[in-house]
Every structure is written in structure tokens, then in C-alpha cells.
Structure 1
Amino acid sequence: MSFKFTIIIPIYNEKDNLKRLEEELLAFIQTSTITTKVLLINDGSTDESQISIESICNRNKNFSFLLFDTNYGLSTALKAGFDYTDTEFVGYIDADLQTSPKDFNSLLEHISTYDLVTGVRKNRNDGFIKKISSKIANSIRRAFTNDGMDDTGCPLKVIKTEYAKRIPMFRGLHRFLPAMILLQGGTVKQIPIQHFPRLAGTSKFGITNRLLGPLIDCFAYLWMKKKRIHYKVSKQQL
């Protein structure tokens, strides 16, 4: 089968979510009009996630995995996912299922027109502290990047793979994917999506890495933006 869409799923200590994750991904794949495969990226989990991952991949031919030797973080997992993707489009969703694979359909409707389509979490099912810290962090990023995104950290995105592979990755970059597409001259669109409470496992982000981390990363983004190499060829004879 020729696939057009790869879904990347970074996983770190999510063993209690993986069975339900498999079921929801299969439900999306069976109803989607685009041929889809799944890449599970185990970011050095210390629980029994890898046992479940290998079982899932063994019983589903369009599922595969990468296992890191230690925990590198979300941005590194996304970088690896982009590196190993060979389809026209690449998507990203968290393993905690606070967003639904079904909403990929809403994003995919626009990917032929735009180079990145991202979700915007409406009616967020998070606690007050988590919601307010994310709101502040999003405001900080918008001020630095001017990307116009209301929810740049939303863990549901679809990107044209040629753009994803050109992103110069660094730690914390998962917070700047729309801005990095805009730097390439690409186009972005945001679509309202569903948001659900976490039913199992624990969040990997707290106030420190939701507020202090994004602020530091904004300065790294500005440095990268100033120093990046970018060119367009107007004519060639090779």
C-alpha cells in the first residue's frame, strides 16, 4: 500500500493510555479518505510502554516504532519523526488523547491549501493553573514570533513533510512549529478541535516548563531567526 500520511506519536511513560490510543487511531484510519500509517516514538520510557508498543506494532502492519536509548524530550521525538517520515504529509498527536485522532479529518481538509494546519483547543478540559499558564505562554510566543496563533502548543497538527524536514530543530521547538513554517515562506491555518480530560497517566509539563521554558525558548527562536540561512534560486543550469 502507498501511504500519504504519517502520524507521529511521542510516548513517555504512557502505558495506561496505549490500548485506547491504538483503538482510536484504528478508528480514524478505517474511516479516513487518506492512506495513513503510524510511527510511535518511545522517548526513553521507564515504565512498560515499550512492551505495549511492540504488541501494537506486531498486530497492525501500518504501525511502526522507534525506541530511544534515553529520554530526550518532545522536540527531539518530533525531529526523529520528521526524519523518518517518507509520506507527503506528517501529523502529530500526543499519546494522552486529550485531543482526538478523528479531528485529523478537519485539519486534512485544508492541507492542500496550507503548509501547516494546527488545532485550537476549545473548551479546554484542564485545571485552572494549566489553562492560565498556557494562555500566558501563548501570549508571550505571539509577541515574539508574530505568528498569529491562538494555541501554538496544541498537540494536533498536520504539516507538508517537505516543510517539516526543513525545520532547524532545537529543544523547545515544538512550541514554535507554525512560526518555523512561516519563516520558510509557508502558510498556516488554525482549526477549532475537541479537547478532553486526561484519563490516565500524568502530565509531563508543569508551571516551570510551561512559563519559564517558553520564555527562554523565545530568545533562542529570535537568535535562530536572525542567524538562519535562507535563499531562493531564480535561475539554474546544472
Structure 2
Amino acid sequence: MSQSPDISVVVPVFDEEGAAPALAREIAAAFAGRQVEIIFVDDASRDGTRAALAALKAEIPQLRVLSHRRNSGQSRAIRSGVMAARAPVIVTLDGDGQNDPADGPALVEALLAGGPDLAMVGGERVRRQDSRAKKVASRLGNGVRKRLLRDTADDTGCGLKAFRREAFLRLPYFDHIHRYLPALMLREGYRVEFRPVGHRHRQTGRSKYTNLGRLWASASDLLGVMWLQSRSRLPQGVDEV
């Protein structure tokens, strides 16, 4: 790329050989005309995800492909991408193709229009294309989390988000942090907002999560984030004299 990017799109993928190439092309089309880099982070896939993405680099010059040597989870893949990103604004999407990249630019515009204290604009999925059981579990989990953490978010499970790289790197890292970004951004004194975004059927592959697995992880995560909130002391600004 001849210029430094203004936007870095970070996509974590694990065993998404069927979805990743088409998604990369959609992202390139959605952000056409902008200074953007597209970073796919392969979380040690067992299929041909990495090779399929690498084969696209000649077609999509903005594409970068990072690869974990060991599977480390979605949150770590997102962090690896953000650490490698060269732009001040990050857009994240899930790698399964259910997020529509066409919604990404609107989140970026809302973020940039909101002033420097607006650290994140998160997507909230409308007309979710998931099973009834998954939607019910998500609604219950989001309700409990929102009540306990007071993070104002109705759908933290939506992978489509736009946020400031600097703000993200201020947050304490832990596995599954991607579900608690609103609460942690608020903890640092930033503002967060949300916008409705579309949601699509998964066309290939299968989900890497189960309702039971999420429930088990969420219990300890919630307690941890509540502890972090209780130990936060904000100076309300820093002045140099």
C-alpha cells in the first residue's frame, strides 16, 4: 500500500476455508475508495483457511494474513490483529460471513463523528439468522450481563464493531474480552454507542460455540469484569502543569 491506512479491518478465522475468501472480497468491496488494510488472523485452522486466504493476496493488495502457531481463541486472534494493525480505527467482523461488511463503513462514520471520547460503535444484530435456542440463550445472557455490568449493550455477541485502536490497547486483556468491550471501554471513561446491523445465515462450516460452553465461561468472566469495575478509579482527566 502506498499510504498508511485509515482503517484496519480485523477478522479472526478458525476452520473457515469455505467462508473466508468470499468474505475478504466483500470487505474489499465495502471499503473501496478508502485507505484500508484487511487483516485476517488464522487461529491455527485445521483446514485450508490459511492457504485459501494467502492465494487471494495478489487479487486483494490490501489483504494481510496472520497465522497463530497454536489455537488461542477469538479474543486472542482479534488482539493479534489489532496489535499488527497500522490504522487508528479498527473494524472487526466474525469470520463466518454472518456479519455483512457493507454495514462496516457506517459504524466508522458514526465513530469519527462522535468525538475523541467516543471509543466504540458496536453493531446490534436485527433479524438474527440463528436457531431459536441460540437466540433465546443470547437474549438471556445479554440481559443478565447488561443488568450486572450496566454496559448499555443489548448485543455484545455481535462481532461487527468499530473502535479506536488506542482505546482497545488500554484495556486489560483476558480470553473472551471481545464480549465485554463496552463495559471495559466505559470503565476507562470512554463513551460507547450502538447501531443496528444486518445478520445473515451461515453458508459454510459450523459454529465453534455451544450454549453450554458459553454459559460456563460467562459465569467466571462476569465475576472478573465486575471485579475490574470495582477496582477502577478515574482521575477525570490529566493536566500537565
The bucket for the TM-score relative to the shorter chain is over 0.9
TM-superposed CA distance for 1:106, in Å, is 1.9
TM-superposed CA distance for 1:162, in Å, is 1.3
Q: Secondary structure at the match of 2:111?
A: coil
Query: Which segments of structure 1 move beyond 4 Å, counting only runs of 4 or more?
Result: 228-233
Instruction: Tell me if the contact between 1:117 and 1:190 (Cα under 8 Å) persists in the aligned partners.
Output: yes
Instruction: Tell me if the contact between 1:137 and 1:210 (Cα under 8 Å) persists in the aligned partners.
Output: no
Match of 1:77 in 2: 77
Match of 1:132 in 2: 136
Which of 168, 171, 177 is equivalent to 1:167? 171
TM-superposed CA distance for 1:79, in Å, is 1.5
Matched, 1:210 2:233: no
**For the structure 1 residues 233 and 196, does the alpha-carbon distance in structure 2 shift closer, same or farther, using more than 3 Å as the test?**
closer
Which deviations, in whole Å up to 9, do the C-alpha atoms of 1:210-236 show, x marking residues without a partner? 322222210011222334575566443
Distance 1:68 1:230 in 2: 35
Instruction: Tell me if the contact between 2:28 and 2:60 (Cα under 8 Å) persists in the aligned partners.
Output: no
TM-superposed CA distance for 1:115, in Å, is 1.6
Q: What is the TM-score with the length of structure 2 in the denominator?
A: 0.92
Match of 1:142 in 2: 146
**Mean alpha-carbon deviation: is it higher for 98-107 or for 221-230?**
221-230
Q: What is the TM-score with the length of structure 1 in the denominator?
A: 0.93
Output aligned runs, 1:27-38, within 5 Å: 27-30=29-32, 34-38=34-38
**For the structure 1 residues 229 and 2, does the alpha-carbon distance in structure 2 shift closer, same or farther, using more than 3 Å as the test?**
same
The gaps in structure 2 that reach 5 residues or longer are none
**For the structure 1 residues 157 and 233, does the alpha-carbon distance in structure 2 shift closer, same or farther, using more than 3 Å as the test?**
closer
TM-superposed CA distance for 1:82, in Å, is 2.0
Match of 1:16 in 2: 18
Which deviations, in whole Å up to 9, do the C-alpha atoms of 1:65-96 show, x marking residues without a partner? 21101110011111212211221200100111
Code of the residue aligned with 2:13 in structure 1: it is I
Distance 2:21 2:237 in 1: 48
Distance 1:147 1:228 in 2: 15
Match of 1:188 in 2: 192
Q: Secondary structure at the match of 2:76?
A: helix
Code of the residue aligned with 1:101 in structure 2: it is P
Match of 1:42 in 2: 42
Distance 2:238 2:201 in 1: 50
Distance 2:192 2:238 in 1: 25
Distance 2:239 2:141 in 1: 42
Matched, 1:89 2:89: yes
Give identity over the alignment, percent. Answer: 26
Instruction: Tell me if the contact between 1:98 and 1:195 (Cα under 8 Å) persists in the aligned partners.
Output: yes
Would you say how many aligned residue pairs link Structure 1 and Structure 2? 235
Match of 1:63 in 2: 63
Instruction: Tell me if the contact between 1:140 and 1:215 (Cα under 8 Å) persists in the aligned partners.
Output: no
Distance 2:53 2:172 in 1: 28
